Structure 1
Amino acid sequence: MASEWLSLFDDLYKAFGETALMVGVSTVFAIIGGLPVGFLLYIADRKLFWDNPLVSSVGSLLVNVIRSVPFVILLVLLLPLTQFVLGTTIGPAAASVPLSVAAIAFYARLVQSALFEVDPGIIEAAQAFGASPARILGIVLFREAMPGFLRGLTITLISLIGYSAMAGIVGGGGVGDLAIRFGYYRYQTNVMLVTVFILIVLVQFVQIAGDRLATYSDRKGS
């Protein structure tokens, strides 16, 4: 029994390491790609500093298309892109490619929504004081929307944890792959229960940490 649990611990350690890699990489790309895309959609939609209906329509359509495709299908659709970028379609690094694409589109829409929640009067006041567009975007809007950005990032991170569980379908490994291989195919219910319990704890930790960061940012901004 002791050796069985020791082996299970080793498998869990490896699986969670793979999940952490997938979620970590895609979260970084969500921030790097999602923030500017969200700002771009907001600026084009509100006609703030830049009036470009084509960018607004095409960008919004592209984001909606990516978000509309179920992730398990997106995994398969982006296999050629993954092969082109990394030279392989197997492993947690390969699964990070479709995860990153989904994360950028998902977070970009949340960033845009957070920006729309900023009081337009604040922007008008900044413009009246002669603030440059870069200053309004980089300081005024960013600071005012920061709590929304953090809440959106929390939602994105939790969604990515769920998405990463599907990565085993294309050989990505991770917690989902472990639960399916041992908990489903081998009827090892203990593996399934332990995996689900740890995922619940992980998601609760991310949610609580994200809420506290957003609250702290909101108080600091005010």
Structure 2
Amino acid sequence: MHKGNFKEMYLNTEQLDLGKFKVATSETLYMTVVSMLFVIIIGLILGLLLYNLGKSKRIGAKIFYNLLSIISNICRSVPFIILIILLIPFTKALMGTFLGAKAAIPSLVISAAPFYGRLVEMAFREVDHGVLEAANSMGANKWELVTKVLIPESLPALISGVTVTVITMIGFTAMAGAIGAGGLGGLAYQEGFMRNRPTITLFATICVLVIVFMVQWLGDWAVKKTDKR
């Protein structure tokens, strides 16, 4: 490809509309932040359930653990673009529409919460059993064990899990944009690909990469701040 053709295709600034990029970026951030609030809450609960059930030797607990594991694996394994299509009736019933940034949130949460839940379970399993036994011998109840020992001791791993999940979520929002959720993915697909404007696609991709790099940097910084080792 000649330099002139490359510049004409990918560096044609006349195609760029900063207003649309601001709206698309705000939609991507909205979908990511709101979804992650639900993902963190549900993921912590799910991870704690899996952790406690996995330790139990009771038959009922093992059955429930296997059931949760199967449901979690199914939600994690279904490709997101397929999941969001399968959930259109549910999304429409819950949100009143299956289009727009708000409509993408249920699918994002259902897809990412089991993923983060597994990361939470693994983080809890890494906590030193001696620390838990010491707290238990001092009379700590289950709530205190979770809030004062389990979560603080596994905080770096939990934050690292959040970082990975957020980056995954940003990728999901881009896919959701291709079927009407908006955001930078929607801008890249609708305005860039469908209208043959490669410059828009390129700059939308750059915006996504900048967000991902910022999230990774913040996550790494938070992990270092909370790591006691």
Structure 2 length-normalised TM: 0.89
Q: Which residue of 2 aligns with 1:102?
A: 111
Aligned residues: 219
What is the DSSP-based 3-state SS (H/G/I as helix, E as strand, rest coil) of the residue aligned with 1:171? Answer: helix
Determine the structure 2 residue equivalent to 1:170.
Answer: 179
2:91–2:98: 8 Å Cα contact kept in structure 1? yes
Residue 97 of structure 2 corresponds to residue 88 of structure 1: yes
In structure 2, relative to structure 1, the CA distance for the partners of 1:208 and 1:137 (3 Å cut) is same
Q: Hey, what's the Cα distance between the residues in 2 that align with 1:170 and 1:189?
A: 19
Distance 1:48 1:92, change over 3 A: farther
Structure 1: which amino acid aligns with 2:205?
A: V
What's 2:8 paired with?
none
- Offset at 1:170? 2.9
Distance 1:3 1:169 in 2: 23
Residue in structure 2 matching 1:141, options 150, 153, 160: 150
Q: Please, which runs of 5 or more residues in structure 1 have no aligned partner?
A: none
Give per-residue Cα distances to partners, 1:42-62, cap 9 Å, x unaligned: 010012999711221111111
- Residue 203 to residue 137, structure 1, CA distance change in 2 (3 Å): same
> What's the offset of the Cα at 1:3?
9.2
Which aligned pairs between 1:196-215 and structure 2 lie closer than 5 A? 196-215=205-224
Alignment match, 1:37: 46
Which of 180, 189, 198 is 1:180 aligned to? Answer: 189
Alpha-carbon contact 1:95-1:170 (below 8 Å) kept: no
Equivalent position to 2:87, from 53, 78, 82? 78
Aligned to 2:61: 52
CA contact (8 A) 1:26 1:99 kept: yes
1:14 aligns with 2:23: yes
The correspondence for 1:152, drawn from 148, 161, 184, is 161
Identity across the alignment (%): 37
SS in 2 for 1:130: coil
For residues 172 and 90 of structure 1, the distance between their equivalents in structure 2, rounded to whole angstroms, comes to 5
Residue 141 of structure 1 aligns with an amino acid whose one-letter code is L
Answer with 50-59 or 19-28: which moved more.
50-59
Q: CA deviation at 1:171?
A: 1.2
Aligned partner (choices 203, 206, 218) of residue 194 of structure 1? 203
Please give the per-residue CA displacement for 1:156-213, whole angstroms capped at 9, x wherever unaligned.
0000000000112331111111111222122212112211112111111100100110
Distance 1:3-1:42 versus aligned 2 partners, 3 A rule? closer
Task: Answer yes or no: is the 8 Å Cα contact 2:43–2:116 preserved in 1.
Answer: yes
Any gaps of 5 or more consecutive residues in structure 2?
1-11
Residue 161 of structure 1, aligned match among 146, 154, 170: 170
Give CA-to-partner distance per residue, 1:11-68, whole Å, 9 cap, x none.
1111111111111111011111111111111010012999711221111111111001
C-alpha RMSD of the superposition = 2.2
Which whole-Å deviations, capped at 9, do the CAs of 1:52-107 have from their partners, x for residues lacking one? 11221111111111001000010011111111111111111001110011121111
> Which amino acid in structure 1 is aligned with residue 75 of structure 2?
I
Q: Tell me, in whole angstroms, the C-alpha distance in 1 between the residues paired with 2:220 and 2:13.
A: 40
